[in-house]
Amino acid sequence: MKKWYRNPVFLITGLAQPFFWVALFGSALGKFPSAFLGGAPTYITFIMGGVLTITALFTAMFSGMGLIWDRRLGTLGRFLSSPIRRSSIVFSKVLSATVRILVQAAILIVAALVIPNGLRFNNGFSGIDAVILVTAVILISIIFSSVFTIIAIRVTRWETVMGIVNLVNLPLMFASYALFPPAIMEGWISKVAEYNPVSWSAEAIRMVIVKGSLSASQWTQVGQWIGALAILAAVLLVLTYYLSEKEIRE
């Protein structure tokens, strides 16, 4: 965390990126046909869950890079010689990425509220809905931070991690319901998107923002999305713990 706030450029770019997502992408497609938006009053409102999720995805993707640089610069060796568990080194990076993502998400929501034709919460939006929103962001952050930290544990070259990041980020983003509704997607890619955790997070957040007071069936659907994210996050955390304890070497 100290690396983050002590580096002004890294801090500013990390905080400005979410604003550009909403202000540029959301406004560029502001005239998207309302018939496809599932009741959302504006396109920015519709994509808010997706943009929050994608912001988490992109930030979490680079969480593993810190481990590689710690290894190359010798910092990891000093960590390993201290009386701490190897897993604590890794989990600190996952936690740091999650906190940064939550800060970005807060700025993103404020920015979306103030720009023209921007975010509009349903009048029934409540504290429970806010908890669902934050929970979805935290879970998707943990999922992708863990995935790329696991990769960094097994890989020693940062070029390899960058190659993997560039390979998977676009499929994860576009083969999901983050930015576009299922109705305008080809059938096969819409089917793939159903099993994409990016879709689960985006849809859960979208549901509470757009619908507000949810019906029993809608709560069931949100519960399924959040439950699936929680199970995946738990599995990846266990795997991260196991690999970090067994395979982190100087």
Here the tokens at position 64 are 């593993």
What DSSP state is assigned to residue 5?
H
pLDDT at residue number 197: 93
**Average of per-residue pLDDT values in the chain:** 83
Q: Are 206 and 200 in contact (CB under 8 A)?
A: no
Q: How confident is the model at residue 224 (pLDDT cuts 50, 70, 90)?
A: very high
Range from 43-47, 66-70, 101-105, 217-221 carrying the lowest mean pLDDT? 66-70
Q: What is the pLDDT of residues 17-37, one digit of tens each?
A: 777 777 777 777 667 677 667
Here the tokens at position 236 are 């990846």
pLDDT at residue number 236: 93
Q: Reply yes or no on whether the pLDDT at 136 is more than 90.
A: yes
How far is residue 100's CA from residue 112's CA, in Å, rounded to a whole number? 18
pLDDT at residue number 35: 67
pLDDT at residue number 250: 56
Helix (H/G/I), strand (E/B), else coil: 210:
helix
pLDDT at residue number 1: 67
Q: Are 185 and 196 in contact (CB under 8 A)?
A: no
Task: Over range 131-140, report the average pLDDT.
Answer: 94
pLDDT at residue number 201: 94
Residue 134 one-letter amino acid:
V
Task: Over range 57-72, report the average pLDDT.
Answer: 76
- Domain boundaries of the chain, sorted by first residue: 40-247
Residue 95 one-letter amino acid:
L
Q: What is the pLDDT of residues 116-130, one digit of tens each?
A: 887 888 888 888 989
pLDDT at residue number 249: 62
> What does 28-91 look like in DSSP terms, one character per residue?
HTTT--GGGTTT-SSHHHHHHHHHHHHHHHHHHHTHHHHHHHHHHHTHHHHHHTSSS-HHHHHH
Here the tokens at position 128 are 């429970």
Give the chain's radius of gyration (CA, Å): 19
Q: How confident is the model at residue 238 (pLDDT cuts 50, 70, 90)?
A: very high
Q: Reply yes or no on whether the pLDDT at 70 is more than 60.
A: yes
Residue 214 one-letter amino acid:
L
Q: Reply yes or no on whether the pLDDT at 227 is more than 90.
A: yes
Here the tokens at position 63 are 């969480």
Q: Are 225 and 203 in contact (CB under 8 A)?
A: yes
Task: Over range 142-158, report the average pLDDT.
Answer: 82
